Chains A and B, each alone.
Chain A
Amino acid sequence: DTAVSQTPKYLVTQMGNDKSIKCEQNLGHDTMYWYKQDSKKFLKIMFSYNNKELIINETVPNRFSPKSPDKAHLNLHINSLELGDSAVYFCASSHSQRNTEAFFGQGTRLTVV
């Protein structure tokens, strides 16, 4: 069973479109994250949710809107896609109180053309 799963794995879309990436974890974790990794491999945190509540929003354009319907899911919706949004997006989860490892999803490679 996959611990953290993201869909889709690849996403190619045109500028101006709206798209969503879904993430689910079956580890019983209470904290979930979205990261953006650009071509230089910099792994930048975008959002952090704890028990469905937004905790961290790292100066991400408001075209990006995360939604957490329950503790096991954290989706990312992106409006009016721009060329600069092309990157690999990773979802991750961890347990906040145990300071244990974070598990990452396989990543979604978004290409905006």
Chain B
Amino acid sequence: QQPVQSPQAVILREGEDAVINCSSSKALYSVHWYRQKHGEAPVFLMILLKGGEQKGHEKISASFNEKKQQSSLYLTASQLSYSGTYFCGPTPRSNDYKLSFGAGTTVTVRA
């Protein structure tokens, strides 16, 4: 079952912040986050393995609440390079062979 992401799309000006939410109907072991730029393949951003753990990549950070079966991605002081479609991929167990994504969230950062 695919995760649900919100919002579907967001438009930002450089320097603004945004939050992308990801929720799953299943209990989670970890959550992957990927970014896909137009015409390219998805690229890994980070994995969150523990409930409540936050990780960061540049000024992009994420949190994982395993009780709520949710993860959030925080884009802080957005840059033009942050534009793209962001996908979360929750996994229910440690040796999962099914990395399933949702519809993604399209982020457009304007100067």
Chain A interface residues toward B at CB < 8 A:
31, 33, 35, 40-45, 48-50, 55-56, 90, 92, 94, 96-97, 99-107
How many positions in chain B have a CB within 8 Å of any CB in the partner chain? 29
- B94 and chain A: residue at smallest CB distance: A99
Interfacial chain A residues near B49, Cβ < 8 Å: 99
When chains A and B are docked, how far (Å) is the Cα of A105 from the Cα of B103?
19
Q: Is B25 an interface residue, CB under 8 A from the partner?
A: no
Do most interface residues of chain A lie in helix, strand or loop, or is the interface mixed?
Answer: strand
Instruction: Report if A90-B97 is in contact (Cβ < 8 Å); known contacts: A40-B103, A42-B103, A43-B87.
Output: no
Q: Which residue of A43, A44, A94, A101 has the most chain B CB atoms within 10 A of its CB atom?
A: A43
Which listed residue, B47, B98, B104, B106, touches A43 by the CB 8 Å rule?
Answer: B104
Docked-complex contact B41 and A99, CB < 8 angstroms:
no
Q: Interface 1/0s, chain B 95-111, versus A by CB < 8 A?
A: 11111111110100000
